[in-house]
Amino acid sequence: MTPHPTAASGWQSVVARYQRPELSSSLWQLANTLLPYLALWYLMVWSLAYSYWLTLGLAVVAGGLLLRVFIIFHDCGHGSFFRSRRANDYVGIVAGLLVFTPYYQWRHQHAVHHATASDLDRRGVGDIFTLTVREYLALSRWGQVRYRLFRHPAVLLGLGPLYSFLITQRFTVPGSTRRERTSVHVTNLALAGSVLGLSWLIGLPAYLLIQLPVMVVAATAGVWLFYVQHQFEDAYWAEHEQWDYAAAAVQGSSYLRLPPVLQWFTGNIGLHHIHHLSPRIPNYALQRCHDENPQLQGAHVLTIRSGMRTLALRLWDEETRRMISFGQLAELRRTPTKHTPT
């Protein structure tokens, strides 16, 4: 079996070779993402006069491009898209407007996610909230129902993505800095201005008929990607004292192997184990880093089909050290010596 980085010496020096952004690659990615996205927006406005089915077809492609915009926004937040911090911030702020997300607040929350991923004692910031079996069994009946609803695919991939990007991102979070709060307020004002401006140009109904399906595609795909990268059966979780950064990166993040066209739209983010090992690697260098270094190839591999099956996994089981479904919990509880509330 291929060793993971915790068993390989010098993994820091290995990933360091891929951490320098290439200006030509970053500019080309901006061009081949933003220009087609804007062109599709124009075509969707035009298509409304002919067939809304045509508009929806274009919206699927535009949603894929908006997801790619989010990957650029994400790389800027890590300081990995350009060598210049100022360039990362400027592009990140603009990309954040397109994906309805305040740049500085999101950047902080996502940094916390990277610093605490798979740490059982530091859950709750920038992640999909996950309970252990004991924690779930200790909840009241109503608490268990609420958790079941939250983890249901209809909420997680239905209502949740739009609620997160359209509603949650409009508010500051407790403990945020002045710059993060300003980021939220300025983003909200800029979004209000763009919505009003576009509504004045093409009408509010036309704007909603275009923007909402685009956001649904991008947000749903993005949340699903984020979910499957950390919520598979053998995902690594550990108490803080035993938590290891490299193990959390490679064993706690999956390698979602996608068809080439989908890997392009998702900006290689399926190579999530490499990204978590070194978030300073630009997205266009992730595949090369993976392919050229066998010692970094020990991550759990998922496909679209196996990734969809992970949606049934809702709890971390302390006894078996794996993610399980509620059905599996019912079977395990038939063993009277295990899984009793504490």
pLDDT tens digit sequence for 284-313 = 999 999 999 998 888 899 999 999 999 999
- The pLDDT-based confidence of 337 (bands split at 50, 70, 90) is low
Q: In DSSP terms, which residues pair with 322 in a beta bridge?
A: 317
51: left (phi over 0), alpha (psi -120 to 50) or beta: beta
Residue 158 lies in a domain: yes
Instruction: Please say if the pLDDT value at position 266 is more than 60.
Output: yes
Residue 51 lies in a domain: yes
Q: What is the average pLDDT across 6-10?
A: 51
Q: Which pLDDT value is given to residue 340?
A: 52
| Domain range enclosing 76 | 5-332
- The pLDDT-based confidence of 333 (bands split at 50, 70, 90) is confident
Q: Which pLDDT value is given to residue 298?
A: 84
**Phi–psi pair at 226, nearest 5 degrees:** -60, -40
pTM for the complete prediction?
A: 0.92
Residue 136 lies in a domain: yes
Residue 70 lies in a domain: yes
Q: Which pLDDT value is given to residue 334?
A: 74
pLDDT digits (tens, 9 = 90+) for 87-134: 999 999 999 999 999 999 999 999 999 999 889 999 878 788 899 999
Distance CA 196, CA 220 (A): 25
pLDDT digits (tens, 9 = 90+) for 135-151: 999 999 999 999 999 99
Q: Which pLDDT value is given to residue 338?
A: 53
- The pLDDT-based confidence of 12 (bands split at 50, 70, 90) is confident
214 CB-contact burial (10 Å; exposed 0-12 / middle 13-18 / buried 19+): buried
Residue 64 lies in a domain: yes
Residue 194 lies in a domain: yes
Q: Taking Cα atoms as reference points, which of 204, 184, 209 lies closest to residue 194?
A: 204
Instruction: Please say if the pLDDT value at position 342 is more than 50.
Output: no
Q: Which pLDDT value is given to residue 297?
A: 87
Instruction: Please say if the pLDDT value at position 339 is more than 90.
Output: no
Element (H, E) at 301: strand 301-302
Q: Which residue type does 73 have?
A: F
Mean pLDDT over the full length of the chain: 92
Mean pLDDT lowest for which of 1-15, 91-105, 284-298, 323-337?
Answer: 1-15
pLDDT digits (tens, 9 = 90+) for 169-196: 999 999 899 999 999 999 999 999 999 9
- The pLDDT-based confidence of 322 (bands split at 50, 70, 90) is very high
Q: In DSSP terms, which residues pair with 323 in a beta bridge?
A: 316
pLDDT digits (tens, 9 = 90+) for 228-252: 999 999 989 999 999 989 888 888 9
Residue 197 lies in a domain: yes
Report the SS3 class of residue 315. strand
Distance CA 253, CA 235 (A): 7
- The pLDDT-based confidence of 271 (bands split at 50, 70, 90) is very high
Residue 338 lies in a domain: no
Q: Which two tokens stand for residue 65?
A: 């491009």
Number of Cβ atoms within 10 Å of the Cβ of 275: 25
Q: Which two tokens stand for residue 94?
A: 């603009």
Q: What is the average pLDDT across 49-72?
A: 98
In this structure, the strands spanning 322-324 and 315-317 are antiparallel
Q: What is the average pLDDT across 212-218?
A: 97
Q: Work out how many domains the chain is built from and give that number.
A: 1
Q: Which pLDDT value is given to residue 330?
A: 85
Of 4 and 222, more confident:
222
Q: What is the average pLDDT across 34-51?
A: 97
